[in-house]
């Protein structure tokens, strides 16, 4: 029940056992919980690390369980702080990746300089991807923003993914949450997972990114203008930064088979929260929709629903109330 807060089943059982019988020792907990004494000791150590067990003032050398209302609040606060730290790291990685890519934007088409090659035209990009897929030995990581993917793009990817998976290559892909609403993209993502790949989704994604064996990366030169082509780089420093960006995005994404939390009167979903942040930053409905990979109609429908839940008569009032509730 408490695994989402970092407590495994054994650790949770030990915590409950300590709450039920504060005087129980390792042997008593082992007998009552059906765990080995080693498992009980490991659980006690983890609970101390999580600050859910503290030294007893009544019995020197013994431990006491922190009450659930206080202890679980501390865990939630720690998770919120960790999430904020990871989001800050992700923002820095995005900025660093954008600066690096812009430095190579002036490369001549389809020529390689210092380990970087500018690819212009779909044929050049597809040829390079086919070659990189053929050379794969371990893994391929992909960030695919924009919601629904074109049928042509999926048709081009399927044989490459099938061959890679057949050779035991680890494929991890992050789609935008809105891709779940497109039958074609969703069917492809499900096919990929059935074949052995891993797919997660997130409401807000950095620009498109492909990384092959942690040594070659392919990114758009300008995410807003695909006609400028793609950048293929083997520069270790650049690839390492982009790999960090992928890892952070992957860690915060949700597996395809897991449902996003449904909205409640007290808390917005992750997607709604990102929408509020984008609009609060000054983006128009249309620009926010592009960042989230959803239509203008969807943005306005979600904003209307948020205003209703916040009992706000205007967007300005909705923003104020969202800030007061700690959403922004």
Predicted confidence at residue 36, as pLDDT, reads: 86
Predicted confidence at residue 218, as pLDDT, reads: 92
Rounded Cα–Cα distance for residues 189 and 110 (Å): 31
Pair 83, 75: CB distance under 8 Å: no
Predicted confidence at residue 174, as pLDDT, reads: 92
pLDDT tens per residue, range 278-307: 777 777 778 777 777 777 777 777 777 777
Backbone region of residue 290 per phi and psi (left: phi > 0; alpha: psi in -120 to 50; beta: other values): alpha
What is the secondary structure of 200-247 as a DSSP string? Answer: EEESS--S-EEEETTTEEEEES-TT-GGG-EEEE--HHHHHHHHHHHH
Query: Across the chain, where does the E strand assignment appear?
Result: 53-55, 63-65, 112-113, 116-119, 139-144, 170-176, 198-202, 209-212, 216-220, 230-233, 254-255
Predicted confidence at residue 256, as pLDDT, reads: 80
Predicted confidence at residue 154, as pLDDT, reads: 86
With 0.85 as the threshold, say if the pTM is over it: no
Question: What tokens were used for 234?
Answer: 């083997």
Domains of the chain: 3-56 (1.10.10), 112-255 (3.30.870.10), 270-324 (1.10.10.10)
Rounded Cα–Cα distance for residues 174 and 205 (Å): 8
In terms of Cα–Cα distance, which of 159, 210, 152, 230 is closest to 185? 152
Predicted confidence at residue 143, as pLDDT, reads: 92
Pair 32, 38: CB distance under 8 Å: no
Predicted confidence at residue 138, as pLDDT, reads: 92
Residue with tokens 């934007």: 105
Residues of the chain with pLDDT under 70: 1-7, 58, 61, 71, 98-115, 226, 257-267, 312-317, 319-321, 323-328
């Amino acid at each position: 029940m408490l695994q989402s807060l970092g407590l495994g089943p054994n650790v949770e059982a030990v915590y409950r056992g300590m709450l039920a019988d504060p005087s129980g020792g390792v042997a008593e907990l082992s007998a009552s919980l059906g765990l080995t004494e080693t498992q009980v000791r490991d659980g006690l150590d983890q609970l101390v690390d999580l600050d859910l067990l503290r030294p007893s003032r009544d019995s020197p050398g013994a431990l006491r369980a922190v009450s659930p209302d206080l202890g679980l609040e501390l865990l939630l606060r720690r998770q919120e702080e960790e999430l904020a730290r990871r989001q800050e790291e992700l923002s820095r990685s995005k900025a660093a990746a954008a600066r690096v890519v812009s430095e190579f934007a002036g490369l001549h088409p389809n020529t390689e300089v210092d380990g970087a090659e500018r690819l212009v035209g779909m044929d050049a990009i597809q040829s390079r991807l086919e070659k990189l897929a053929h050379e794969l030995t371990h893994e391929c990581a992909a960030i695919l923003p924009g919601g629904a993917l074109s049928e042509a793009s999926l048709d081009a990817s399927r044989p490459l993914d099938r061959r890679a998976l057949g050779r035991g290559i680890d494929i991890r892909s992050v789609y935008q949450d809105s891709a779940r609403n497109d039958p074609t993209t969703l069917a492809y993502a499900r096919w990929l997972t059935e074949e052995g790949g891993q797919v997660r989704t997130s409401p807000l994604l950095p620009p498109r990114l492909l990384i092959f064996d942690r040594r070659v990366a392919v990114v758009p030169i300008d995410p807003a203008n695909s006609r400028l082509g793609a950048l293929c780089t083997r520069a270790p420093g650049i690839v390492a930064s982009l790999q960090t960006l992928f890892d952070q995005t992957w860690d915060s994404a949700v597996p395809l088979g897991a449902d996003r939390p449904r909205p409640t009167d007290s808390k917005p979903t992750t997607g709604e929260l990102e929408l509020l942040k984008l609009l609060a930053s000054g983006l128009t409905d249309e620009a926010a929709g592009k960042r989230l990979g959803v239509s203008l109609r969807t943005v306005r429908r979600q904003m209307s629903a948020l205003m209703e839940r916040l009992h706000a008569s205007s967007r300005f009032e909705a923003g104020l109330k969202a800030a007061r509730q700690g959403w922004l």
